[in-house]
Structure 1
Amino acid sequence: MESNNVQIHVEDEDRLSKLPDDILLDILGKGNMNTCIRASFLSARWRHLPSLLSHISLDISDFVISDDSFLNPTVVDEAMACMTKVARISLAVSGRKRTMKAVSLRVVLTSNYLCDICFFNATTTLFRHLSRLFLYNARFDELQMDRLLNSCEQLQHLELDNCDTGDEPVLKTNIPNSKISYLKLCSCLFEKVEFLCLPKLSELHYELSYSLNTPFSLGIVPCLEEVRLVCKMASYQSGYNLSELLHGTKEIHALTLDFEGEKVWMLPEGQKLHSLFQNLSKLFIHGIYAKFGLSWTITVLEAAPFIKTFGIKVCDHVCTEKNRRLYAKRINPWQKNNKLNSSRHLNLTRLEFGGFMAVKKHLQFVRAVMDYASSLETILLEDKDPCEYCDEVNSNRPILRQVPSFQKINASKK
């Protein structure tokens, strides 16, 4: 009887092994590359399959136990070594011709892997087919960055997190043949980035650095349509002029400004904003300190006559108060420019309000927008975003009943 059970079990295994490569590849493609490589060693039938995958995703987080592990350089080095081995196996040449369609890479470059030639040589094929690249904790000069990006012929999505250029204060990107359409820079220590030529760039997310001067400049970016700028002003910074940051752009349709609950760093510029906003169809102002007024945002809105979607988000994080000394005093240079033009009617069709509470100030703002936007069709009200750190601070306070997210209200007027 036991012999029969073993025979049935073996037959079941053989039945799985007899599946065609395309089905087995689809099964392997559901997991991460680390899991795929481990699975391939369980059966000789599966051994060659990782090298046939058309979509490869290598993520450093799949090789560590938790996010806290990134604080340990030894653990990160071991994870990078393991990841490099997986890259070699997954990119090994097989007997069957391979069509690689997309590659995603997320790495942390510590001292042992900082611009490591062995790492990049081991993944030459990967970089040639790379479509998505995430770099963390990397230091490179302009030449190294150009070499990397020029070798990524199919790169469309690039994210840099906590990167810097060492002793060189300015990073210049001049890649006429680049296919990069999405670029995000977060917590980077560049004094300035000059985007000289990125012809396919359509979406830019930039967390503004603690720079005393204009943190970036735009050159040839004819396809740029969506921009998100985030900044928590340090105590030694004064503010930025949007006309300088976005100088040379003509096709921006969606703009998000995020103050992260701190000082409003966008300075009033009068008619310059009218020229800058002339093609905007979506404008979002996020991270407005909860104690600031809101009517000033409508005066900003008046500078954009063709906006259809307008969103604000109020920020009230008690968890950040202990670090207040690091940031500038909370002031709003627009607070004195909150007189509305009663003769101008807004063309809004949609209003979004994040962090909404049923308090007088918020209700008056919604009513003011309704009065100025005769074409308004939809209003979306959203409770504030959850924050576990704020929850810890408020752990001894009574829990307030939360308003359901995104309640929909008809914006009809009587």
Structure 2
Amino acid sequence: MKNKGSRRRPNKAAAPRKGEAASDGAGGDRLSKLPDDILLNILERVDTLDALRTCILSKRMLKLPTMLSRFDIDVGNLARHHDAASYGYTLNHVIQYNNAVAGVAEKILSARNLEIPIRKLRLRFYVGRDGCLSISKAFACTMATQRVDNAEFVLLTEKSCLKCTHDNLLYYAQQFNNCLGDYPAAFAGLTHLWLRNMRFGELDIPNVLSTCKRLVSLRLSNCDAGVRSVLHIEHAQLVELCIEEGKFEAVQLNGLPKLQHVNFVGWCCPDPLTFRSVPQLRKLRLEQIGISSTKNLQLSQFLANVPWISDLHLDFRSEKIWVLPESPKLLAPVLGKLQIVNLDNLPEGCDMAWTMFILEAAPSLRELCITVWDDWCKIVTDKEFRRKNGYCEKANVEWQPSDFDLKHKNLVKLTIHGFQPDVIFVRYVRRILEVAVNMGDISLHDRKVCERCMDLDPEIKVCPSRYPRTTEEKDMLKVEITKELGMASHAVIHFRS
């Protein structure tokens, strides 16, 4: 029986109140107790504005923003914190967010330790009245006073590509030119530049290239110098070039001694690129929607001045095949160094045998990756629209092998996305096994999955995948593919999905 006069013995350590974290143990503030180098490594992996918000939470971490060497400042991130409908910005919103980013950037960059070089500085902001100028000014001051190894501008526009009118394109280009003219120092130190939705004058793009002397990467999305204009690109430092959906009549790569990678999407001219003096170009990616008027690309002519291409990526967007299979006699001189080939978004249901022309002409080829996919959320389905704009029905590519006894010694890896257990795929994989005498791995994947395709029009009938699921189904299919080829061929086939 308890003594009525006794008191409860106090606990040795009072438990924290509800919602209050303990300073030690599992619920404590472990983040701020980490060493500075680890904290900086963590903070430099996230958006800089988020990193600043984190540092405000701890007195010990308040000094860390002055020690950062990587900055990623995104006006879109700032906007999302203030406006849930982040793509419904008005012009006032754009100016407000740009000015806020300019203020944050100027404050951070002016207060930082000058002995620590800036390894990467990336600013993503809107082209617009005044706001663009304020950011350019802050950036120019940084470039003049601090060492910046990599500097990147990503310029956004209020309207998306599909909603931009001719006047919009001219307006955005003019706003950018104002920034470039008023603060050339900000652009002289740039290493990466991404411009979108701009229609320049004839001399504007050459002026950009001459001003941005350190530029190693240039990306132009829905940019041109007028419909059916000719773009000449010369630059001593440029390594990577990406042109997407411009209305150029021609693009000429004239003097680019360091250029290594070109990505060209959606051209409207018969011959998309002309190569002149690009001695280091190794990687080329082309993407196009093939219609009846699309000229078939003859690689023997197209690559005549760049016979050292080692990585070739062709994307057909689930429509017409616009590359012409040619004989090895014509192609061998330009594909002799080719080692990696990606053939993306071949239309489903069509024979793939025509792709063998690459093996015939490219003896150094080591990896071949093929994606067969009808991406219905991107395919134009309106029959009348397709008819008026020259969209083609699915059709096999005509091709006849030049060497029925072909043996390829260097191809060691084949990857197929969209594999189905039908005669087209089975026959193709078997043929590759017959030809590639040193094949080491064949990876067969199911169709790619696109979440947007879940909301398709119910009238679009998509044939369900028949990709093998069980071990028994996979073993039976291996036997069918490799019959008469031996167990060695059986062992290199792998179902990856």
Shorter-chain TM-score bucket reads 0.7 to 0.9
Q: Which amino acid letter does the alignment assign opposite residue 322 of structure 1?
A: T
Structure 2 Cα separation of the partners of residues 140 and 43 of structure 1 = 48
SS in 2 for 1:172: strand
Alignment of 1:155 onto 2:215: yes
2:419 touches 2:467 (CA, 8 Å); kept in 1?
no
- Counterpart of 2:438? 375
Q: Which amino acid letter does the alignment assign opposite residue 434 of structure 2?
A: D
- Specify which of 291, 306, 313 is matched with residue 256 of structure 1: 313
- Percent identity at matched positions? 27
2:281 touches 2:309 (CA, 8 Å); kept in 1?
yes
Alignment of 1:108 onto 2:166: no
Alignment of 1:336 onto 2:398: yes
- Counterpart of 2:71? 56
1:128 touches 1:153 (CA, 8 Å); kept in 2?
yes
> For residues 19 and 149 of structure 1, do their structure 2 counterparts lie closer, same or farther at Cα, with a shift above 3 Å needed?
farther
- Counterpart of 2:287? 230
Structure 2 Cα separation of the partners of residues 232 and 48 of structure 1 = 52
- Counterpart of 1:391? 454
Structure 2 Cα separation of the partners of residues 336 and 313 of structure 1 = 20
Deviations 1:57-91 (A, max 9, x none): 23454244399845756355554444333433343
> For residues 95 and 57 of structure 1, do their structure 2 counterparts lie closer, same or farther at Cα, with a shift above 3 Å needed?
closer
SS in 2 for 1:274: helix
Give structure 1 stretches of 5+ with no counterpart: none
> For residues 350 and 20 of structure 1, do their structure 2 counterparts lie closer, same or farther at Cα, with a shift above 3 Å needed?
closer
SS in 1 for 2:361: coil
| 1:278-293 aligned within 5 A | 278-293=336-351
Q: Number of paired residues?
A: 404
Q: Which amino acid letter does the alignment assign opposite residue 248 of structure 2?
A: F
Alignment of 1:89 onto 2:126: no
Alignment of 1:322 onto 2:337: no
> For residues 206 and 307 of structure 1, do their structure 2 counterparts lie closer, same or farther at Cα, with a shift above 3 Å needed?
same
Q: Which amino acid letter does the alignment assign opposite residue 257 of structure 1?
A: L
1:59 touches 1:106 (CA, 8 Å); kept in 2?
no
1:84 touches 1:122 (CA, 8 Å); kept in 2?
no
- Counterpart of 1:28? 43
Deviations 1:271-303 (A, max 9, x none): 332221111112222221112211111133212
- Specify which of 297, 302, 307 is matched with residue 355 of structure 2: 297
> For residues 20 and 362 of structure 1, do their structure 2 counterparts lie closer, same or farther at Cα, with a shift above 3 Å needed?
closer
| 1:158-237 aligned within 5 A | 158-166=218-226, 169-176=229-236, 178=237, 180-211=238-269, 213-237=270-294
SS in 1 for 2:46: coil
Alignment of 1:144 onto 2:204: yes
> For residues 221 and 78 of structure 1, do their structure 2 counterparts lie closer, same or farther at Cα, with a shift above 3 Å needed?
farther
> For residues 267 and 27 of structure 1, do their structure 2 counterparts lie closer, same or farther at Cα, with a shift above 3 Å needed?
closer
Q: Which amino acid letter does the alignment assign opposite residue 234 of structure 2?
A: N
- Counterpart of 1:354? 417
1:298 touches 1:340 (CA, 8 Å); kept in 2?
no
2:291 touches 2:319 (CA, 8 Å); kept in 1?
no
1:345 touches 1:374 (CA, 8 Å); kept in 2?
yes
> For residues 255 and 207 of structure 1, do their structure 2 counterparts lie closer, same or farther at Cα, with a shift above 3 Å needed?
same
C-alpha displacement at 1:309, in angstroms?
A: 1.5
TM-score by length of 2: 0.68
**RMSD of equivalent CA atoms:** 4.0
Q: Which amino acid letter does the alignment assign opposite residue 224 of structure 2?
A: D
2:229 touches 2:249 (CA, 8 Å); kept in 1?
yes
> For residues 154 and 102 of structure 1, do their structure 2 counterparts lie closer, same or farther at Cα, with a shift above 3 Å needed?
farther
Tell me whether 284-293 or 224-233 shows the greater mean CA deviation. Answer: 284-293
SS in 2 for 1:279: coil
Give structure 2 stretches of 5+ with no counterpart: 1-13, 123-152, 159-170, 487-497
Q: Structure with the greater relative contact order (CA < 8 A, sep ≥ 6): 1 or 2? A: 1
C-alpha displacement at 1:107, in angstroms?
A: 2.2
1:299 touches 1:339 (CA, 8 Å); kept in 2?
yes
SS in 2 for 1:91: helix
> For residues 117 and 399 of structure 1, do their structure 2 counterparts lie closer, same or farther at Cα, with a shift above 3 Å needed?
same
SS in 1 for 2:246: coil
C-alpha displacement at 1:115, in angstroms?
A: 0.9
Q: Which amino acid letter does the alignment assign opposite residue 456 of structure 2?
A: V
Q: Which amino acid letter does the alignment assign opposite residue 416 of structure 2?
A: F
- Specify which of 311, 323, 327 is matched with residue 369 of structure 2: 311
Structure 1 Cα separation of the partners of residues 303 and 201 of structure 2 = 25
SS in 1 for 2:199: coil
> For residues 363 and 95 of structure 1, do their structure 2 counterparts lie closer, same or farther at Cα, with a shift above 3 Å needed?
closer
Structure 2 Cα separation of the partners of residues 392 and 186 of structure 1 = 27
TM-score by length of 1: 0.80
Q: Which amino acid letter does the alignment assign opposite residue 34 of structure 1?
A: L
Deviations 1:334-389 (A, max 9, x none): 73223352132123221111111111211111111111222212101111111233
Deviations 1:175-219 (A, max 9, x none): 12x1x32222223333322111222121222113122x3122112
Structure 2 Cα separation of the partners of residues 339 and 304 of structure 1 = 14
Larger Rg: 2
Q: Which amino acid letter does the alignment assign opposite residue 378 of structure 1?
A: D
Structure 1 Cα separation of the partners of residues 194 and 220 of structure 2 = 6
Structure 1 Cα separation of the partners of residues 63 and 89 of structure 2 = 34
1:50 touches 1:89 (CA, 8 Å); kept in 2?
no
Structure 2 Cα separation of the partners of residues 150 and 40 of structure 1 = 40
